[in-house]
Amino acid sequence: MSVYLDYQAAKPVDDRVIEEMLPYFNKKFANPSSLHGDGDIATETLEKARKKVADFINAPKSSDILFTSGATESNNLALIGSALRNKRKGDHIIISEIEHISILNLGKYLERQGFKVSRVPVDQYGIINLDKLERFITDKTILISISTASNEVGSLQPIEEISKIATEKKILFHTDAVASEAVIPIDVQKVPIDLITFSSNDIYGPRGIGALYLKEGVRVNPILIGGGQERGMRSGSENIPGIVGFAKAAEIMKKEIHSESARLKILRDKLINGVLNSIPKSHLNGHPEKRLPNNAHFRFDYIEGESLILSLRDQGVGGATGSACSSKTLEASHTLIAMGLLHEEAHGSLLFTLGRFTKESDIDKAIDVLPDVIKRLRILSPLTPPDLLKKYNEVNN
Q: Contacts by 131-139 with C-beta closer than 8 Å and gap 24+?
A: 133/94, 133/162, 133/165, 134/165, 136/94, 137/94, 137/165, 137/169, 137/171, 138/90, 138/92, 139/90
The SS3 assignment for 261 reads: helix
Give the C-alpha separation, 383 to 324, whole Å. Answer: 27
Residue 64 is a catalytic residue? no
Under the phi-then-psi rule, with left for phi > 0, alpha for psi from -120 to 50, and beta for the rest, what region is 228? left
Give the C-alpha separation, 67 to 14, whole Å. Answer: 20
Query: 325, 369, 388, 389: which one is catalytic?
Result: 325
Interface ranges with ligand PMP (CB under 6 A): 70-72, 75, 100, 102, 147, 151, 176, 178-179, 199, 325
Give the C-alpha separation, 225 to 211, whole Å. Answer: 17
Residue 143 CB contacts under 8 Å (≥ 6 apart), including other chains: 79, 82, 83, 86, 93, 94, 171, 172, 173, 174
151 vs 285, which CB is nearer to ligand PMP?
A: 151
Give the C-alpha separation, 253 to 205, whole Å. Answer: 10
> Minimum distance between the CB of residue 150 and ligand PMP, rounded to whole angstroms?
8
> Minimum distance between the CB of residue 250 and ligand PMP, rounded to whole angstroms?
16
> Minimum distance between the CB of residue 67 and ligand PMP, rounded to whole angstroms?
13
Q: Which of 316, 322, 314, 309 is closest to 353 using CA atoms?
A: 322
> Is there a contact between 145 and 78 (Cβ–Cβ < 8 Å)?
yes
Residue 325 CB contacts under 8 Å (≥ 6 apart), including other chains: 100, 101, 102
> Minimum distance between the CB of residue 175 and ligand PMP, rounded to whole angstroms?
10
> Minimum distance between the CB of residue 71 and ligand PMP, rounded to whole angstroms?
3
> Minimum distance between the CB of residue 273 and ligand PMP, rounded to whole angstroms?
26
> Is there a contact between 159 and 193 (Cβ–Cβ < 8 Å)?
yes
> Minimum distance between the CB of residue 182 and ligand PMP, rounded to whole angstroms?
11
> Is there a contact between 355 and 182 (Cβ–Cβ < 8 Å)?
yes
Give the C-alpha separation, 73 to 242, whole Å. Answer: 15
Q: Within 13 Å and on the Cβ side, how many CA atoms surround 343?
A: 3
Q: How far is CA 390 from CA 125, 382, 386, 395, in A?
A: 32, 14, 6, 9
Residue 332 CB contacts under 8 Å (≥ 6 apart), including other chains: 343, 346, 347
Catalytic residues: 325
